[in-house]
Structure 1
Amino acid sequence: MKIFSSIYDFQTQGKTVLTLGTFDGVHLGHQSILKKLEKASDELNCESLVLTFFPHPRMVLQQDGDIKLLNTIDEKAELLRKFGVDNLIVHPFDNRFSQLSAEEFVSEILVKQFNIAKIIIGYDHRFGKNRSATIDDLIVFGEKYGFEVEQISAKEIDEVSVSSTKIRVALDNGDITTANSYLGYKYSFSGKVVQGKQLGRTIGFPTANIQIAEDYKLIPKIGVYVVKATYQGRTIGGMMNIGFKPTVDGIAKTIEVHLFDFKEDLYGTDLKIEVLHRLRDEQKFSSVDHLKEQLFQDKKLSLEYFAK
């Protein structure tokens, strides 16, 4: 898959089949659209093209700086690559771009830049300055400029919208099972292992303190989870605490992962963490010894989960 950081970086000698959207999560609803894209590109012997934007349009148009996303740009690209997309464009969304008229968007970008043979788009899609144009306008433009418009049905669009909302709500509530079922894969995040207070070592549970660079990445609810870490191509089971470590008077929110049967130095390395199952809420224990007892119980339950 080729990745472009701007619409204007993309060049092709052939025709393309395009779909566009935020594709946040690349969940089961999105995957059904990607299958349509793949089918159409095969039938028309065209390259497939996904156009998405960053920052998220809501961050720009609604000044919604607190919006949390299911994927970083790199995560989204990795997922789209798995579904056979030929080209991904992540275009910087800004006020200037939002001021393009509907016909400018069609003639200058879809036709001139992308050379589209077909666009696959939601029935309720609106585009152009002030989102003034509808799917009906796009069909008229298609007849004028010589490309086909395939509408994604109301049912499919509803599934996409509902899935995205349910995944975010589920993660906010710590309901990993529901989130993963809508995603069609395990929710994950990646980060660098940084220096912590090393308190875990003193009680037999050393942890990797994960720092995530992207502040817009949605992190599940505070609590203890069963996880799987990927390190240098290896997969290692473990358990994770997201929270403030109240038993030892923690102040800042941290993400700490204890890996089973693993003793290598991880400082400065990158880890991918897949979240598999939620064990419990974060708790404040009366003593470090009581915390240690609970950690042994958490580990026992985690290993039982993996054994299943």
Structure 2
Amino acid sequence: MEIYYNQTRNRPTVMTLGTFDGVHLGHQHIINLAVKRAKELDYDSSLFTFFPHPLQTISPDKAPKALTSWSQKRNIIQNLGINQLIVQKFDEDFSQMPYQIFIEDYLVKRFKVKEIIVGEDFRCGYRAQGTPAKLKELGKELGFEVQSVPSIKINNQDIGSTYIRNLILDGKVSKVKEQLGRNFSLDCKVVKGDQRGRKLGFPTANLEPLADYVLPPLGVYACRVKLADKIYGGAVHLGVLPTFDKNKFSIEVYILDFNQNIYGQRLELEFVERIRPEERFPTVEGLIDRMKEDVRVTREILSNTDQQLENFNKYYG
């Protein structure tokens, strides 16, 4: 996949546009349609997106917390087979541009767009006046087709970024996979902590998220850790360590069957299931006993989900 910032291309293209917030299964459906259509026509397939999220420029107080980092978003899109990823800086000047100028000057002239595939709720241009219906009218004049794709449902629920965020905020991380097509995960860097976990017999990696993510409630979660092309099981704690009267929020993961120094490294933390809320224990010994139980429950959860994945791949893979 090639990535472009304001360049031009000479080959005709089928393009899909949007913020692709989270690149959930609804987004993936639209992207797959664009890839398929481009292959049918022997055109390039392109995805035009914006950075940062438009609301961070238009109305920062209403901007949503991230579901992916930029790196995660790019990798997910690349794995869907798009030929070109086009990134537009969404600043104040760009936000004032009428949709007609955006479509003609940016898409038709620069990228030879012959077909546009977007969701039915897509909007672009100044004050979001560029609806799919208006794009179709403009296409008759400028020589491109427009396909408007209805939203899709899973278990009678529309797939949507806002709904996914609400699931995460409610701690229902195990249900997120139904909408994202994957577990919700954080792109993180391992940073120095106070090494308290090591003293308790559970050495943890202290994590610094690399995006302003939406986060689930404080507590302990079964997770998976992707590190250097390997995947490990783990138990992650989000909280302020009330047993030790800490007031500083931290994310600490205990990686199962792992004993390496990974300070400064980058990893991906994948939430699988919530185990319990954060608790204050009267004694350190009580906390240690609960941590042992957390690890036991984590192993059980991960073992069950591994078996579910194996069964899925056996019958549907």
Q: TM-score normalized by structure 2? A: 0.90
4+ long deviations beyond 4 Å: 159-162
Aligned residue among 292, 297, 310 for 1:296: 292
Structure 1 residue 163: Cα displacement: 2.5
Classify the secondary structure of the residue corresponding to 2:60: coil
Classify the secondary structure of the residue corresponding to 1:192: strand
Q: Partners in 2 of 1:154 and 1:200 — Cα distance?
A: 46
Task: Give the residue type in structure 2 aligned to 1:121.
Answer: V
Which whole-Å deviations, capped at 9, do the CAs of 1:232-290 have from their partners, x for residues lacking one? Answer: 22211110000101001111100000011111111111111111111000100001100
78-87 or 288-297, larger mean C-alpha shift: 78-87
Is 2:287 the partner of 1:266?
no
Partner of 1:38: 35
Aligned length: 302
Q: Percent identity?
A: 35
Is 2:24 the partner of 1:27?
yes
Partner of 2:145: 148
Change (3 A) 1:21 1:196: same
Partner of 2:301: 305
Is 2:133 the partner of 1:128?
no
Task: Give the residue type in structure 2 aligned to 1:298.
Answer: D
Is 2:182 the partner of 1:178?
no
Partner of 1:235: 231
Structure 1 residue 122: Cα displacement: 2.9
Q: Partners in 2 of 1:26 and 1:236 — Cα distance?
A: 24
Q: Partners in 1 of 2:120 and 2:278 — Cα distance?
A: 44
Change (3 A) 1:36 1:285: same
RMSD: 1.7
Q: Partners in 1 of 2:231 and 2:109 — Cα distance?
A: 46
Change (3 A) 1:231 1:126: closer
Partner of 2:89: 92
- Cα contact 2:69–2:187 (8 A) shared by 1: no
Gaps of at least 5 residues in structure 1 are none
Structure 1 residue 194: Cα displacement: 1.0
Aligned residue among 72, 75, 84 for 1:75: 72
Q: Partners in 1 of 2:210 and 2:152 — Cα distance?
A: 36
Structure 1 residue 29: Cα displacement: 1.1
Structure 1 residue 162: Cα displacement: 4.4
Classify the secondary structure of the residue corresponding to 1:14: coil
Q: Partners in 2 of 1:28 and 1:220 — Cα distance?
A: 21
Partner of 1:198: 195
Q: Partners in 2 of 1:154 and 1:185 — Cα distance?
A: 19
Change (3 A) 1:217 1:135: same
Q: Partners in 2 of 1:40 and 1:266 — Cα distance?
A: 44
Which whole-Å deviations, capped at 9, do the CAs of 1:162-217 have from their partners, x for residues lacking one? Answer: 43122100111110111122111111112111111111111100100001232x22
Gaps of at least 5 residues in structure 2 are 305-317
Which whole-Å deviations, capped at 9, do the CAs of 1:50-91 have from their partners, x for residues lacking one? Answer: 111111111111122662010111110111111111111221
Q: Partners in 2 of 1:249 and 1:262 — Cα distance?
A: 28
Q: Partners in 2 of 1:170 and 1:62 — Cα distance?
A: 24
Q: TM-score normalized by structure 1? A: 0.93
